[in-house]
Amino acid sequence: MLRTHVDQHPLACLAVMEDWLFLHLMCKPSVYIAQDLILQTITICSPFGSVYLYWVNNICECMRLRGRPKKTWQRTLETEHQQKLAQWVEGVDSCNLFWSSKDFCRLMSLRLMFLSHIFHLSNCKIPTRDLWAGFPQDYIRLLSQWYCSLGQCCESGDCRIINNITGLASDLQLKLHGQHLAQSVVLKAVQGFISNPESNKPLTLSFHGWSGTGKNFVARIVADNMYRDGVKSECVRLFIAPFHFPHARLVDTYKGQLREAIRDMVLRCPQTLFIFDEAEKLHPGLIDAIKPYMDHYDNVDGVSYRRAVFLFLSNIGGTTINDVALDFWHSGQNREDIGMEDLEHRLRAEAMESQGGFAQSELMSGHLIDFFVPFLPLEYRHVKLCARDAYAARGLEPDEGTLDEVAKAMLYVPKEERLFSAQGCKSIPQRINFFLP
C-alpha cells in the first residue's frame, strides 16, 4: 500500500514510518524496535535508507527526552547523505524546519497528540512481524491532511489551498469594474467546480477581450482566493506564449517541456491553476499536446488532472465584443443588459475561425472549453474607478477633479463616439504618477 505513495509523497512516507515506530513506543515504552524491523521499515519506505536511519535515531532520542533536545541532534549528515536528502526534498523550503531541534520536538509533540487519537481508535493494535498488519486503511488519507503542504499543519485539507468563494465573490464585485458578465460567469464556474469534488474533467475557461479590460486581473483574483499564496503559490503556474514558447521550430521540444511541467505540478498539487496568457499565439501542436489533460479522462498515464484549472487569456473576439457593446449603446440600452446569449456563441465562432494556434487546436474542435468569458470595453466612468483604486493602493484619496484629469488623459475609441478606453485600465497605475503633488 505504501509503495504507491512513495514517489508522490516522500515526506508523508517518512511520517508513516516514524509514526508507526511511535505506536510501538506508546504501547510498550520500555521495549524498543528490533533492528531488523527498523531496517525493514526503512527499506520499504525509500531508497534513501541511510537518511531514514538518521531520522530513526532522532525519533528514539526525542521519545526518551520527552521534548528536551540534545546538542547531538545538531550533528551534520555526511556529504553523501546531504546530497540524497537534497535530492529527496528538492524545492521544499518548509522541510528546513526539521533541522531545528526545537521545531523538530514541537512537531513530534503535535504528532504524538494526533497519534494518541489514532492509537485509541485502533484499540492499540501492535504491529507484528508483518509491518502493516492492522494498519488503519484511511491512515494515509489522514496523514495527507495532517501533513498538508509538506510539513505545515492546518485544520483540514491542503494548507496551500483556501478556496475562499466568499472572498472571490467580494473581490469580483468590489475590485473589477464594468465586467458584469465576467463577474457572474467566473464566480459560478469556480464555485461549481470547487463544490463538486467528483468533476469528470478539469475546469477550463477562456477569457476574451481587449487589452486592459481585466483578464489578467481576474486570473490573479482567482489565484488569490483559491490559494494561500495567490499567484506566488507553488500550485499556480503562468505561461506567457511569446516568452515561454517563442520559436515555432522548437515546438516539439516545447511539447515535452510543457507536458512534463503540467504533470509535475499536478503531482505536487492536484488542484493546480494553469494560466496561459496571449493564448492566441500558442502553436496549435502545443495546445494539442496538452489536450488530454483537459479531456474527460479518469487519469493520463496514472495521473488524474480532474482537479486542475486551466485559464486561457486571449485578445481574440475583442472586436466582436466591442461591436455588441457599441450596438447596445446606440440603441439606448444599458451595457449591463448585455447577456451571455448575446456574446458567447459569437465568441466561440470567431475563436474557431480566427488565425493562430488557439483556433486551430483540438481544444476548440473538441469543445473542451467550459466557458467563453467576455470582457467588455471600459468606459470613462470605469477608468475613473480604476484611477480611484490605484490612488487607494498608495494610501491616497483623490478628489473628483483629479480622477477626471486621469480619465481624460486616456485615448478613447471609436473616433466619433469616443466611448471606450483604447487601453482599458492597463496603464492607470503608472499614469497617476503624473498627477501626484
- How close are the terminal C-alpha atoms of the chain, in Å? 67
Could you give the CA distance from residue 235 to residue 149 in angstroms, rounded to a whole number? 10
With contact defined as beta carbons under 8 Å apart, do 374 and 317 qualify?
yes
Could you give the CA distance from residue 278 to residue 275 in angstroms, rounded to a whole number? 10
What pLDDT does 71 receive? 39
Domain-located, residue 160: no
- Total domains in the chain come to 3
Q: Are residues 220 and 362 in the same domain?
A: yes
Q: Amino acid letter at 59? A: I
Could you give the CA distance from residue 412 to residue 421 in angstroms, rounded to a whole number? 4
Domain-located, residue 24: yes
Could you give the CA distance from residue 114 to residue 22 in angstroms, rounded to a whole number? 11
Q: Are residues 298 and 392 in the same domain?
A: no
Domain-located, residue 421: yes
Q: Are residues 333 and 404 in the same domain?
A: no
Could you give the CA distance from residue 394 to residue 403 in angstroms, rounded to a whole number? 15
Q: Are residues 326 and 409 in the same domain?
A: no
Domain-located, residue 34: yes
CATH number of the domain that residue 192 is part of: 3.40.50.300
What pLDDT does 356 receive? 65
Q: Are residues 23 and 147 in the same domain?
A: yes
Per-residue pLDDT of the chain (437 residues; tens, 9 = 90+): 333 333 344 444 445 455 545 444 444 433 344 444 444 444 444 444 444 444 445 544 444 443 333 334 334 434 444 444 444 444 333 333 333 333 444 444 444 444 444 444 444 343 333 333 343 444 444 444 444 444 444 544 577 899 999 999 999 999 999 999 999 999 999 999 999 988 999 999 999 999 999 999 999 999 999 999 999 999 999 999 999 999 989 999 999 999 999 999 999 899 999 999 999 899 888 988 999 999 988 888 888 999 999 999 999 999 999 999 999 999 999 999 999 999 988 988 888 877 766 666 777 777 889 999 999 999 999 999 999 999 999 999 999 999 999 999 999 999 889 999 999 999 999 999 888 87
With contact defined as beta carbons under 8 Å apart, do 219 and 169 qualify?
no
* Closest listed residue to residue 388, CA positions, set 369, 415, 407: 407
Q: Are residues 129 and 206 in the same domain?
A: no
Domain-located, residue 15: yes
Domain-located, residue 393: yes
Q: Are residues 295 and 418 in the same domain?
A: no
Rg (CA), the chain: 27
Q: Are residues 98 and 76 in the same domain?
A: yes
Could you give the CA distance from residue 58 to residue 64 in angstroms, rounded to a whole number? 10
Q: Which domain holds residue 394?
A: 380-435
Q: Are residues 306 and 395 in the same domain?
A: no
Last residue of a domain, one of 151, 181, 207: 151
What pLDDT does 238 receive? 97
With contact defined as beta carbons under 8 Å apart, do 49 and 42 qualify?
yes
Whole-prediction pTM value? 0.68
Q: Are residues 225 and 370 in the same domain?
A: yes
* Closest listed residue to residue 326, CA positions, set 153, 210, 190, 166: 210
Domain-located, residue 48: yes
Q: Are residues 385 and 264 in the same domain?
A: no
Q: Are residues 47 and 184 in the same domain?
A: no
Domain-located, residue 158: no
